[in-house]
Structure 1
Amino acid sequence: MAVLNDIVRSSIPKPQSGSQSIVRQAFLLLVLYLALGVVIFWFNRHNFLGNETHPVVDALYFCVVTMCTIGYGDIIPNSVATKLFSILFVLVGFGFIDILLSAMVCYVLDLQESYLLRTVEHEGQKKDSARSYIIDVKKGRMRIRMKVGLALGVVVLCIGIGVGVMHFVESLVWLDAFYLSVMSVTTVGYGDRAFKTMSGRIFAAIWLLVSTLAVARAFLYLAEARVDKRHRSMAKWVLGQDMTVSEFLAADIDNNGFVSKSEFVIYKLKEMGKVSEKDIMQISETFDRLDAGNCGRITLADLMEHNH
């Protein structure tokens, strides 16, 4: 009866990350959005001021430079319609490339994590729950370090590729090429240096999409690593403290004169900031809803009655 009940009862599906699917969807939306921007630029190209190479290349170049919040100043809108177009394009478009890069990073991390931890996870399934918990903690730390390393590596690679292209395609000296590359990936864009050739602008339209978001993600992951380190230090300090009388009274949730293992775990999790009082209340309400007999424990009969 229990097996049949588990099969037929309605359940909430487990959320799936679907990084690969998100990458495809975000990439398709980004291509369509850029195509729309190119078409709008084409019909309003006479209302833009700046150096011209090829209308389609200039349109794509302007859309990417605007979307990435760089704004070299070599092509600028010169009418009410084109200014409104630029405003909407940067506000909406920046979210597309952020979603795309986030999904790509998560997909690469999932592949690396699966490869590096396949053996460890397989062995961990044969151990007890404490062993599994340790493996999960190590996986979390490894994932954060991998994200930081991957993002920084992409930033260095983008800067290096940009320097080479700017030197050989845009005919800039090495120092100016390095200067323009760094100012571009950091979205500074003073406007004293910009892409002037058609080949350079084609390269910039692809290169800027990846490099600018890679820098933003690198700073985000570095901040995440610092926060994780602080949380681990706080957890180590909390777990290393001896329990005082006042802490004993605070941990005794049901006020029965002794602290059970579950009460101790809940109290320590609250001290470490892992759960809040609101989280505990929600879990308690769920338990009370399942405890049909109000006996302080959930029985099989309670589950059968609740599911029916």
Structure 2
Amino acid sequence: MAQKLQYEETLQSILGAENILITTHRSPDGDAIGSTMGLLQFITKLGKKCTVVVPDEFPEFLHWIPGTDQIIRFDTNKELVNKLVVDSDLIFSLDYNVLSRVGEEFCKVLSGLDKKMIMIDHHREPAENYNYYIHDIEASSTSQLVYDFIAYSGNKDKIDLGICEALYSGILTDTGSFRFPSTSARTHEIVGEMMEIGLEISKVYNLIYDNNSIDRLQLLGYVLGQKLSYHKDLNMAYITLSHQEMTDHNYQPGDTEGFVNYALSIKGVKFSCLMKENESGSVRMSFRSKGDFDVNKFARTYFSGGGHLNAAGGRSSIGLEATEKRLLEKAIEVLSK
């Protein structure tokens, strides 16, 4: 499914619902938070009861976005979230294409429900068990899809500054400040419309990118100085970070945002990866590429992940050292062809 834009069905589902629940993926990023907050504000304007649940903590640099004070975390409020799911009659899945991306425990809560479910997402290969979709793999972000849903469903007059700030945050971060190939003429057109409403793009940029802690900058320095591995023969670079290394630098969620792009920025590099070990020993992976190297396919094939052509995520349960070894083995296998 490359594109399915069921705007009218989605709008009528909202208007016919009493208790709406919006969910997004674990380790929420800028697009996850921006898109959910934008949709929350819109649904609230329609006079409907709506709640946003995220699987776990999200970065502090996103806490300023309007509506984030209403977010409920599953990992710290499991009993409440279970009740919210039971009481809901419409559930949105934003910025993820399969339920497993919310985490194993929350996935069990959301699975097998006799509820109407709607997906708004731009990742490849979406699950096929949803009632309706606003899905387009060519869209720059889920936030762009939410904006177009509001605008094209006849509700453009309801887009105010709060909605713009939320959705622009998602577009800004998921396009890498408008430098990724997914950035389209429509993306820029939307930003122009937001600016006419009153959006201050420099304000949002500063709140997201010019708000670093000293610990984050020192972690970045450590990574670039000691943890960046470059393989010129493969046009590849990667970064590994152990849980202990992150603890030593007072790591907070979001502190490694964008680190994988530093590896990709090396002259000649076409493929990069960031590997982060968590407390349990499992490894979270971020992949980036240039040109036609498909990291979505690479992540799906070897690391239980997926995403986009040039940006994807994955996971490994074999430990950091073994994961690094497997990455190199598979990279040699694929890139040497």
Question: Which TM class, normalised by the smaller chain length?
Answer: under 0.3
TM-score, normalization: structure 2?
A: 0.23
More helix by share: 1
More strand by share: 2
TM-score, normalization: structure 1?
A: 0.24
